[in-house]
Structure 1
Amino acid sequence: MENLMQIFKDKNLKLTPQRYAIYKYLLSVKTHPSAEMIYNALKKSYPTMSLATVYKTLKTLNEIGLVQEINVGEDNFRYDANVNNHPHIVCLNCGKVDDIEKANFDMVKEEASKYTNYDINSYKIYFYGICPKCKKGR
Structure 2
Amino acid sequence: MIKGAVEKLKASDIRITPQRNAILEYLIESHSHPTADEIYRALEDRFPNMSVATVYNNLRLFTEIGFVKEMSYGDASSRFDFTQTKHYHAICTKCGKIIDTFYPGLEDVEAATEKLTGFKIAEHRLELYGICPECQEKEA
Q: Equivalents in 2 of 1:32, 1:89: separation in Å?
A: 12
Give the CA RMSD over aligned residues: 1.7
Gaps of 5+ in 1: none
Residue 73 of structure 1 deviates from its aligned partner by: 4.5
Which residue of structure 2 aligns with residue 97 of structure 1?
A: 98
Gaps of 5+ in 2: none
What's the TM-score once normalised by structure 2's chain length? 0.87
Instruction: Return 54-63 or 113-122, whichever deviates more.
Output: 113-122
Q: After TM superposition, which residue ranges in structure 1, 4 or more long, deviate above 6 angstroms?
A: none
Q: Equivalents in 1 of 2:24, 2:42: separation in Å?
A: 13
Q: Would you say how many aligned residue pairs link Structure 1 and Structure 2?
A: 137
Instruction: Return 33-42 or 110-119, whichever deviates more.
Output: 110-119
Give the letter for the 1:78 counterpart: R
Residue 33 of structure 1 deviates from its aligned partner by: 0.6
Residue 130 of structure 1 deviates from its aligned partner by: 0.9
Residue 32 of structure 1 deviates from its aligned partner by: 0.5
Give the letter for the 2:8 counterpart: I
Query: Counterpart of 1:15 in 2: which secondary structure?
Result: coil
Q: Equivalents in 2 of 1:99, 1:5: separation in Å?
A: 23
Per-residue displacement from partner, 1:11-63 (whole Å, max 9, x unpaired)?
Answer: 23222111111011111111111111111111111111111110110000000
Q: Equivalents in 1 of 2:110, 2:11: separation in Å?
A: 31
Per-residue displacement from partner, 1:68-125 (whole Å, max 9, x unpaired)?
Answer: 1112454111111114221101111111111013x12224334322322234342111
Which residue of structure 2 aligns with residue 48 of structure 1?
A: 49
Q: Equivalents in 1 of 2:6, 2:101: separation in Å?
A: 30
What's the TM-score once normalised by structure 1's chain length? 0.88
Residue 27 of structure 1 pairs with residue 39 of structure 2: no
Residue 65 of structure 1 deviates from its aligned partner by: 0.8
Work out whether residues 90 and 96 of structure 1, in 8 Å CA contact, stay in contact via their aligned partners in 2: yes
User: 1:1-138 residue pairs with structure 2 within 5 A?
Assistant: 1-101=2-102, 103-104=103-104, 105-138=106-139
Work out whether residues 72 and 126 of structure 1, in 8 Å CA contact, stay in contact via their aligned partners in 2: no
